[in-house]
Chains A and B, each alone.
Chain A
Amino acid sequence: MNDALITANKLTKVYRRGSEQVFALKDASFTVHRGEFLAIVGPSGSGKTTLLNLLGCLDRPTWGTLKLDGIEINGLKEKDLTRLRRDSIGFVFQQFFLLPTLTVKENIELPLLFSNKNDGEKVVKEIIGLVGLSNRANHLPHQLSGGEMQRVAIGRALVNSPKILLADEPTGNLDSITAETIYQLFLRLNREGLTIIVVTHNLELADIAHRVIRLKDGRITAGGAAERR
């Protein structure tokens, strides 16, 4: 097995609802290795998205520690977290979040604007080809199907060459045939060495992952140990 990319130790996230404390995630400990394809599954409210948000540095744990590529993120300042998200993490959302006035190409190159990379033209072209949208590069999002929009979102997540791709219900808004093309794309990216973590309700998508972490009521019930299936 490759070396550890993510190490979570007793990750806990507590929200306050009035005077009550709600444990969205409790004592989650696991390791994700480079090149791994991990699925996080569980019923609604089990803490899947909370865990993904912590892994993506969108949120901070209440307790516990998280190391990403050897960097302990607990004590990082906001600007360091921004840099980490920009340089190391690619995000794919269920709602795509494409900018409706930008073309496919412009949506994909958007992260380059924030990383001040001016030499992205070639990379963007390659990625448009990788996600199979070469003939749609100048189309606007409203001219695309749901599957194509999600492929644009995946392309956007890849443009800064992240170490890890995090996807929150990436097929949640897609029909099963379109979802299949997204599974195939993830598999291909993973084969090329990209570490992928997917939160999903979709069992077919979970089935193609190397490992599945199951969550219930904020606790990991299975898959915490790093073993390939």
Chain B
Amino acid sequence: MNFVTLASKNLLRRRGRTTLTVIGVAIAIAVLFSLLSFNSGYEKRLSSELNSLGIHMLAVPKGCPYEAASLIIHGGVIPKYLSGADVAEVKKIENIEIATPLLLHQFYKEGKPHIVYGIQIAEARQLKPWWKVEGRFFSDDETTAMVVGSELAEKEKLKVGDVLPFGPDQVPFTIVGILERTNSQDDEFHFISLKAAQDIFQKPEQITAIAIKVKDITRIPEVAKQLEEIPDIQVVTTNQIMGTILNIVGSVRTLLISVIIVAIIVSAVGVINTLLMSVSERTGEFGMMKAIGASGSHIARLVILETLFISAAGGILGLLFAITGSSVVEGFVKGVIPYAPAGKLLSFQPQFLGLCLLFSIVIGVVCGIYPAMKSSRMTPLEAIRSSVNE
């Protein structure tokens, strides 16, 4: 027999209490691991999503530029518009490789929002050379042809050749193509020609934004400055969008960190409470152990080992919770953060596993110190007497 056997057998004595304490630690560790994974995954996803736009900046109507930019990449309607003349002005600026107009519209079908992008197909494909389509793309002149994102097609069970009544007048649109999966928001959008969008949503000559790609990325600030000289236009670069979204998400992150701190404190108090109860119930036993030759450090070692078992088991269980329940966590996080990129937001990394396990063990040692000291300092006589007097 050794201390490990002795400690593990002691924990089995009150299985219910030990299990609840382990679950307490597990919850704290699961939340911690999920947050670390979210932190790493969110930034990566956001960056990849902004890159998937294929642009360096957006020219939007004056107002709140970040809100406009966020709506454009996420979907939504801005009640302000630029005009075709603005596009012509933008195109005059040197160093701009592509400047293409976009008209966005949002409608609800069976309570779910649908986003429609009116685009100029040739320029859009230049911005997104990775776009592949099952079927074909529409041409800029087609006013009743549509391409849909893969996820939208899957959800709505749409096939190439289907005819979809569309817009306020329920104009029949033919689905000419389905985009291959891009793992970005594009997978959920309807794409029609700019002209078709302007017609069916009655926005003649109006556009929501101009997507811009520059020839030389080192000249982005200079181009942005020139663009802002055009009346009615505001410019946001993708870096600015990312910074702003990360700032907004930062407040949610702070909230989550507070939740974690509370969860960790609660679980630590739970561990300490369990150990103190356990130590107090076994005062007589500790007295007996001291009477038969155990030193204070033997008793402390036993108590610390017990906490280590609880916290390590809690750590492992918490990691299992976090990994197996990641879809639930992901759904929750997507619900509470203001901007959630498409795809998996939690990025599990081996170093986080190690870090969380180490953290659970540190909690164990810290929580075990007081009960261990308390039990190890008791004289054998005190311990035996307090047990006999109970």
Using a CB–CB cutoff of 8 Å, the interface residues on chain A facing chain B are 53, 56, 58-59, 78-79, 82-83, 85-87, 90-91, 93, 95, 97, 99-102, 106, 109-115, 156-157, 160
CA distance A188 to B10 in the complex (A): 34
CA distance A91 to B380 in the complex (A): 12
On chain A, the residues within 8 Å of B387 by CB distance are 95
Find out whether the CB atom of A91 lies under 8 angstroms from the CB atom of B292.
yes
Using a CB–CB cutoff of 8 Å, the interface residues on chain B facing chain A are 1-3, 5-6, 9-10, 12-13, 284-285, 287-296, 298, 379-381, 384, 387-388
On chain A, the residues within 8 Å of B10 by CB distance are 99, 101
* B interface majority secondary structure: helix
The answer to whether A106 and B293 touch (CB under 8 A), given A93-B384, A97-B288, A101-B13, is no
On chain A, the residues within 8 Å of B9 by CB distance are 99, 101-102
Q: In the complex, how many angstroms separate the beta carbon of B140 from the nearest chain A beta carbon?
A: 79
On chain A, the residues within 8 Å of B287 by CB distance are 97
On chain A, the residues within 8 Å of B381 by CB distance are 53, 58-59
The answer to whether A113 and B1 touch (CB under 8 A), given A58-B384, A59-B381, A97-B284, is yes
Pick from B12, B292, B295, B388: contact of A101, CB below 8 A.
Answer: B12
On chain B, the residues within 8 Å of A93 by CB distance are 288, 291, 384
CA distance A90 to B292 in the complex (A): 7
Pick from B1, B13, B379: contact of A106, CB below 8 A.
Answer: B1
Find out whether the CB atom of A95 lies under 8 angstroms from the CB atom of B284.
yes
The answer to whether A99 and B3 touch (CB under 8 A), given A58-B380, A82-B295, A85-B291, is no
Q: In the complex, how many angstroms separate the beta carbon of B305 from the nearest chain A beta carbon?
A: 12
Find out whether the CB atom of A82 lies under 8 angstroms from the CB atom of B294.
yes
Find out whether the CB atom of A58 lies under 8 angstroms from the CB atom of B285.
no
On chain A, the residues within 8 Å of B379 by CB distance are 58-59
CA distance A78 to B2 in the complex (A): 24
Given contacts A93-B384, A114-B289, 4 further A-B contacts (CB under 8 A): A58-B291, A82-B293, A83-B293, A101-B9
Find out whether the CB atom of A86 lies under 8 angstroms from the CB atom of B292.
yes
Q: In the complex, how many angstroms separate the beta carbon of B318 from the nearest chain A beta carbon?
A: 26
CA distance A109 to B296 in the complex (A): 19
Find out whether the CB atom of B388 lies under 8 angstroms from the CB atom of A95.
yes
Pick from B1, B3, B285, B290: contact of A82, CB below 8 A.
Answer: B290
Pick from A83, A106, A110: contact of B292, CB below 8 A.
Answer: A110
* 6 A-B residue pairings within 8 Å (CB atoms): A93-B288, A95-B388, A102-B6, A114-B289, A114-B293, A114-B298
On chain A, the residues within 8 Å of B295 by CB distance are 79, 82, 114
- Among B1, B292, B298, find the residue whose CB has the most chain A CB atoms closer than 10 A: B292
**Chain A: which residue is nearest B380 at the CB level?**
A58
Total number of residue pairs linking A and B with CB closer than 8 Å: 77
Q: In the complex, how many angstroms separate the beta carbon of A206 from the nearest chain B beta carbon?
A: 22
CA distance A22 to B172 in the complex (A): 104
- Among B6, B13, B293, B294, find the residue whose CB has the most chain A CB atoms closer than 10 A: B293
CA distance A90 to B288 in the complex (A): 11
CA distance A85 to B291 in the complex (A): 6
Find out whether the CB atom of A97 lies under 8 angstroms from the CB atom of B285.
yes
On chain B, the residues within 8 Å of A99 by CB distance are 6, 9-10, 285
**Chain B: which residue is nearest A159 at the CB level?**
B292
Find out whether the CB atom of B1 lies under 8 angstroms from the CB atom of A109.
yes
Which 10 A-B pairs give the minimum distances between C-beta atoms?
A86-B293, A97-B288, A101-B9, A114-B293, A114-B294, A91-B291, A111-B292, A58-B381, A82-B295, A58-B380
Find out whether the CB atom of A110 lies under 8 angstroms from the CB atom of B289.
yes
CA distance A78 to B296 in the complex (A): 9
Find out whether the CB atom of A91 lies under 8 angstroms from the CB atom of B288.
yes
- Among A79, A87, A101, A112, find the residue whose CB has the most chain B CB atoms closer than 10 A: A101
On chain A, the residues within 8 Å of B284 by CB distance are 95, 97
Q: In the complex, how many angstroms separate the beta carbon of B289 from the nearest chain A beta carbon?
A: 7
Q: In the complex, how many angstroms separate the beta carbon of A179 from the nearest chain B beta carbon?
A: 20
Q: In the complex, how many angstroms separate the beta carbon of B286 from the nearest chain A beta carbon?
A: 10
**Chain B: which residue is nearest A54 at the CB level?**
B381
CA distance A59 to B383 in the complex (A): 12
Find out whether the CB atom of A113 lies under 8 angstroms from the CB atom of B288.
no
CA distance A19 to B296 in the complex (A): 31
CA distance A86 to B2 in the complex (A): 17
On chain B, the residues within 8 Å of A109 by CB distance are 1
On chain B, the residues within 8 Å of A91 by CB distance are 288, 291-292
Find out whether the CB atom of A113 lies under 8 angstroms from the CB atom of B380.
no
**Chain B: which residue is nearest A124 at the CB level?**
B1
Q: In the complex, how many angstroms separate the beta carbon of A157 from the nearest chain B beta carbon?
A: 7
**Chain A: which residue is nearest B11 at the CB level?**
A101
On chain B, the residues within 8 Å of A97 by CB distance are 284-285, 287-288
CA distance A100 to B284 in the complex (A): 13
Q: In the complex, how many angstroms separate the beta carbon of B281 from the nearest chain A beta carbon?
A: 11
CA distance A90 to B298 in the complex (A): 18
Q: In the complex, how many angstroms separate the beta carbon of A164 from the nearest chain B beta carbon?
A: 13
Find out whether the CB atom of B292 lies under 8 angstroms from the CB atom of A156.
yes
CA distance A95 to B295 in the complex (A): 21
On chain A, the residues within 8 Å of B294 by CB distance are 82, 114
CA distance A77 to B298 in the complex (A): 17
